[in-house]
Amino acid sequence: MKEGNSQFRTEAPYRAAQGRERRVELARGQAPFCALVGCSDSRVPPELLFGRGLGELFIVRNAGNTIDTAALGSIEYGVGVLGCPLIVVLGHESCGAVAAAVEVVQRNAIFPGVIGEMIQPIIPAVLSVRRPSGEIVLDEAVAANARRVAARLKSQSPIAQEAVRANKLKIVAARYKLDDGNVEWFEDI
């Protein structure tokens, strides 16, 4: 993943696994090496950011890279059934969902439809980085949210817990910077 991101950042040519032969191979089954929880933001396409091709990433995307029942079940399928040895929770700079959670905390903002419900799981991460002055730095909240989701996967998924205990799984959080394309890794989870 790190090498693919380096190639993406430097615009080095890479050859992602794709094309007819790869499609035929994948028609028989999949064995992705990474399950990734990412944001729906159109500026953050995981396959491109990491130089990956067909069948290599098992991706769950939603605004704010959060884990609900469907996302958790999907990740558990990736680990428990497909045997993914890596889970990456990828936050990103200028995340609108995290920014909305910041607005709720700082200004008691209200959002239409179910947007407010969608950002509720992000609020604890936002609160965790609020400074004594009340200031919240969005980038710090994005990192805290990615770390929190990664920690939740370790603590709330029996499938992930067992795979981690058996040294068959690593869970890491990361943050993508929009302007330079760099992924910063938080492997201390």
pLDDT digits (tens, 9 = 90+) for 14-39: 667 778 888 888 889 999 999 999 99
Cα 122 to chain center, whole Å?
13
Which tokens go with 24?
A: 């035929």
pLDDT digits (tens, 9 = 90+) for 55-98: 999 999 999 999 999 999 999 999 999 999 999 999 999 999 99
pLDDT digits (tens, 9 = 90+) for 30-64: 999 999 999 999 999 999 999 999 999 999 999 99
pLDDT digits (tens, 9 = 90+) for 151-189: 999 999 999 999 999 999 999 999 999 999 999 999 754
The amino acid occupying position 41 is: D
Which tokens go with 17?
A: 């696994």
> In angstroms, how far is the first alpha carbon of the chain from the final one?
17
What is d(CA 27, CA 153) in angstroms, rounded to the nearest whole number? 29
Which residue is associated with the tokens 């130089």? 51
The amino acid occupying position 11 is: E
- Cβ proximity of 172 and 150 under 8 Å: yes
